[in-house]
Amino acid sequence: MSATDQAVSAAVAAAEDWAAAPPEARARALKAAADALEAARAELVPLADSESHLGPARLNGELTRTTFQLGLFAEQVLAGGFYDARIDRPDPEWPTGPRPDLRRYRTALGPVLVFAASNFPFAFSVAGGDTASALAAGCPVVVKAHPGHPALSRRTAEIVTAALRDAGAPEGTFALIEGEQEGVEALRHPGIKAAAFTGSERGGLALAKIAADRPEPIPFYGELGSTNPVVVTSGAAKARGEEIAKGYVGSVTQGAGQFCTNPGILFVPAGDGIVDRISALLGEVAASPMLNDRIESGFLDAARTLGERPGVQRLIWPEDGSAAPRLLTMDLAAFAADSQAAARECFGPLGLVVTYERLRDVAEVLAKLPGQLTTSLHGEADETGELTGLAGVLAERSGRVLWNQWPTGVSVTHAMQHGGPYPATTTPATTSVGTAAIERFLRPVSYQNWPQDLLPQPLRDGNPWNVPQQIT
Amino acid sequence: MSATDQAVSAAVAAAEDWAAAPPEARARALKAAADALEAARAELVPLADSESHLGPARLNGELTRTTFQLGLFAEQVLAGGFYDARIDRPDPEWPTGPRPDLRRYRTALGPVLVFAASNFPFAFSVAGGDTASALAAGCPVVVKAHPGHPALSRRTAEIVTAALRDAGAPEGTFALIEGEQEGVEALRHPGIKAAAFTGSERGGLALAKIAADRPEPIPFYGELGSTNPVVVTSGAAKARGEEIAKGYVGSVTQGAGQFCTNPGILFVPAGDGIVDRISALLGEVAASPMLNDRIESGFLDAARTLGERPGVQRLIWPEDGSAAPRLLTMDLAAFAADSQAAARECFGPLGLVVTYERLRDVAEVLAKLPGQLTTSLHGEADETGELTGLAGVLAERSGRVLWNQWPTGVSVTHAMQHGGPYPATTTPATTSVGTAAIERFLRPVSYQNWPQDLLPQPLRDGNPWNVPQQIT
């Protein structure tokens, strides 16, 4: 039996007990994992830094986000809203014939495979959002480690495994596997009932195909990246040109540009001087080490390809082979003529500024772009009357729209949506960040005329788990 | 421009206005469609009978279900719960950094393609559940007519189109297309954003593949059928053998067995005489005309194949080539040895009674069956203590479990789940019947720091549509 088969088989064995664990037990286990990671902060942050080069400030913040997320999801388990419990009382007068006693809730899907990401060694990795949401839903988790931070992955898994076990979670509730082939083997394993992935479009689509081609296809929640277009109105450019330039440079170079919400493309009015301001500011930003050599060479290749597209001017273009920030510009007509290539994600610190003459032409071009995680609009309060059409296009093409803010920094809240039309995500109706992420790992079941003592707890008359029940 | 292209293009043109229509307007349009169909009852039922042979009693009931469904979904539009509106107020103290103003709701996906079914010429056809739920969600609908009832399809579409138009819905909100190639052309059309299907596993999986292979893959909600296993405990067989036999025969032959919830397989204790009772009762049931020749010959082929499997005994087996009810039996060991073939759906009036010695062996066999729409358990109140394991297996393998009731007759309510693990449905996390069906045609979008006058109505502070808002 391979290590992968062992991990998945143990997850299968744990599935029923973990799904049936009372909210208090499941919440306690999630909180125990958070506390244990917090207690190991002094060890984990330097380890993460040594493997990711992201620096202690960012990594400390990311660990805080990760433990907060586990705690917030524990609260959701206690609140029980995600069960979506509905009770129809029998109704002999129901217009289509006597209505039986019907009770519906959402139950855990079963073991979930999580593919960890490289760019968030804590928050989208071993104990990150996918793991937290699957565990909260009542699903055991098998994480396929990202090779970019193997030592951190192993140590995190040890801590989480021990914390869950000590808190009483069934053996097999959590496991780590390593290796690309092992990940594919797990994805094909009949015991795995859903998979979540954060990473490149190419890698994600290949795995999505494997998930779809199984004898029993399973949901594959892939978050694949985006160029996150930002539009600046002429009013905003006039009123706050310097502030916007500064904000853009900060967002596009943050974390060496290694965010799926990196605002890769900025649309600005032609001739307002904003390109020069950005150029001046970006020229001051030194190269930061990237996550690893593969990502760095991928960035340099993608940047080179983009820099050579027709109509592209290279404003900042280090020739020393470093991954220092780059700035390109082109006009809207050139972008429109080449938009599918020009709008490809370039994972790293690169900004493409597209100059436009008429805002309505921007809306037309954006309407044809591939789906995005985010789109943003920088405008003035007195312009909103003219922005209805553009606002509609932005919301149609993305999962989150922002006004006068930058898309990097994805808050973990109830109203967050991190996901968007294809190919930003493979399943646009779901989110991978925020409390709604838990819903991905649930499946509804109805119980008709079912005996009380065989009903799952959230559907019983006494409501022993004290979940919200919609009774009609 | 082909008729299909015209229908989809008109739907695309209508999408924004229909999605933004106030709840009162959308609800009024749905109710107008219901009223218009009701007003045409005297014309529609005979027309449906002439094409489907289902008889006026059943068809009158089905039309009632259809118009009730449109009205119930109109009420959901007014209630607005499916928007799942969530508002996070800004919170400077949020542990991961200041929380912005974030507002999330679910918006219409865009034009939906509905593949009508043959076996419910009203309730799962032109103005059926998929159409009602997509329209309620704010999506224009293009229906691909089922060739089994073309005249009824055209007449229903005329009535619905006129009613929607007279109620003020945008032109293009609803259209009918006909032809297999036209259906595939529509499914490949970039303007279509989701598809719903009720029908055979073979047809559904072929269409699901086309949906997945598009340049922009779209959700495909396929409800593909099921054999709906029913388990009878020894206590129930002893106490209510005659009643259970009668109920089974009624459910398996109702509508000539042409229901996706037809209880094809019945597990009964060996030697309790229930097989003989069923045999006596089923022998009295005459052949009913099936929906069409293709379905009848499909039934005869599938029945023949099943009747020749190893270990199968043919108890009632008309040799006159008619589609009269058939009864087969085999023991659990033979079924277990051949379960993937023996559990294939046989669409029509055929029952397979499997006799068992030990109930726990039944649970083991059921755990390995493909996913089912429903599973049922007939037991006595004093047996529930021993049924926990079996109940868990039934809920794990299906979308709806029933106690001492029969799966045919799917009530349209809030707590109904009509869908189950693959291959009963292609997307087990959704339902095609009941008010939760609306959720299939929605996609979440978050608005960050967005100006009030550009926000969609369900997210505004004044809550002009009066929808439930979860504010934190």
> What would the mean pLDDT of B146-152 be, rounded to a whole number?
97
How far, CA to CA in Å, does A170 sit from each of A135, A143, A230?
12, 17, 47
Structure confidence at residue A225 (pLDDT): 85
Q: Which residues in B lie closer than 8 A to residue A428 (C-beta atoms)?
A: 443
How far, CA to CA in Å, does B215 sit from each of A77, A370, A398, B10, B211?
38, 10, 17, 21, 9
How far, CA to CA in Å, does B289 sit from each of A207, A380, A443, B325, B443?
47, 69, 37, 11, 43
Structure confidence at residue B321 (pLDDT): 85
Residue of chain A with shortest Cα separation from B411 = A99
pLDDT of A272 above 90: no
User: At residue B245, what are phi and psi to the nearest 5 degrees?
Assistant: -60, -45
> What would the mean pLDDT of A439-468 be, rounded to a whole number?
98
Nearest by CB to residue A429, choosing from B216, B442, B447, is: B442
> What would the mean pLDDT of A85-93 be, rounded to a whole number?
97
> What would the mean pLDDT of A192-217 be, rounded to a whole number?
95
pLDDT, tens digit (0-9, with 9 covering 90-100), for B321-357: 899 999 999 999 999 999 989 998 899 999 999 999 9
Q: Which helix (H) or strand (E) holds A352?
A: strand A350-356
Q: Do A416 and B104 touch (CB under 8 A)?
A: yes
Our CA-based measurement puts residue A245 at a distance from the nearest CA of chain B, in whole angstroms, of 19
Q: Do B405 and A107 touch (CB under 8 A)?
A: no
> What would the mean pLDDT of B416-429 be, rounded to a whole number?
96
- B450: pLDDT confidence band, cut at 50, 70 and 90? very high
Selection from A157, A144, A148 nearest residue A120 by Cα: A148
> What would the mean pLDDT of A325-342 be, rounded to a whole number?
95
Residue from B62, B223, B296, B345 carrying the catalytic annotation: B223
How far, CA to CA in Å, does B206 sit from each of B8, B209, B212, B312?
21, 5, 10, 31
Selection from A317, A358, A360, A362 nearest residue A335 by Cα: A362
In this complex, how many residue pairs, one in chain A and one in chain B, have their CB atoms less than 8 Å apart?
A: 207
Nearest by CB to residue B95, choosing from A68, A212, A219, is: A68
Structure confidence at residue B156 (pLDDT): 98
Lowest mean pLDDT segment, chosen from B99-108, B232-241, B288-297: B288-297
Contact of B413 with chain A, judged by CB distance below 8 Å, is answered with yes
Q: Which of residues 223-242 of A touch B (CB under 8 A)?
A: none
Q: Do B402 and A448 touch (CB under 8 A)?
A: yes
DSSP string across B150-169: HHHHHHHHHHHHHHHHHTTP
Structure confidence at residue B230 (pLDDT): 98
Contact yes or no for A65/A59 (Cβ under 8 A): no
Q: Do A411 and B445 touch (CB under 8 A)?
A: no
> What would the mean pLDDT of B403-418 be, rounded to a whole number?
96
pLDDT, tens digit (0-9, with 9 covering 90-100), for B373-402: 999 999 999 999 999 999 999 999 999 999
Our CA-based measurement puts residue A350 at a distance from the nearest CA of chain B, in whole angstroms, of 24
Our CA-based measurement puts residue B317 at a distance from the nearest CA of chain A, in whole angstroms, of 33
- B21: pLDDT confidence band, cut at 50, 70 and 90? very high
Q: Which of residues 86-145 of B touch A (CB under 8 A)?
A: 86-88, 94-97, 99-100, 102-104, 107, 109
Q: Strand B469-471 and strand B85-88: pairing?
A: parallel
> What would the mean pLDDT of A160-184 be, rounded to a whole number?
98
> What would the mean pLDDT of A189-207 be, rounded to a whole number?
96
pLDDT of A321 above 90: no
pLDDT, tens digit (0-9, with 9 covering 90-100), for A393-407: 999 999 999 999 999
Structure confidence at residue A315 (pLDDT): 97
Q: Do A96 and B401 touch (CB under 8 A)?
A: no
pLDDT, tens digit (0-9, with 9 covering 90-100), for B181-204: 999 999 999 999 999 999 999 999
- ipTM confidence score: 0.97
- B443: pLDDT confidence band, cut at 50, 70 and 90? very high
Selection from A162, A180, A158 nearest residue A171 by Cα: A162
Residue of chain A with shortest Cα separation from B216 = A422
- Average model confidence (pLDDT) across chain B: 96
Q: Which residues in B lie closer than 8 A to residue A453 (C-beta atoms)?
A: 384-385
Structure confidence at residue A178 (pLDDT): 98
- Average model confidence (pLDDT) across chain A: 96
Q: Find all residues with CB under 8 Å of B294, minimum gap 6, and list them.
A: none
Q: Which helix (H) or strand (E) holds A104?
A: strand A102-108
Q: Which helix (H) or strand (E) holds A29?
A: helix A23-39
- A36: pLDDT confidence band, cut at 50, 70 and 90? very high
- A320: pLDDT confidence band, cut at 50, 70 and 90? confident
Q: Which residues of A are catalytic?
A: 223, 260
Structure confidence at residue B9 (pLDDT): 98
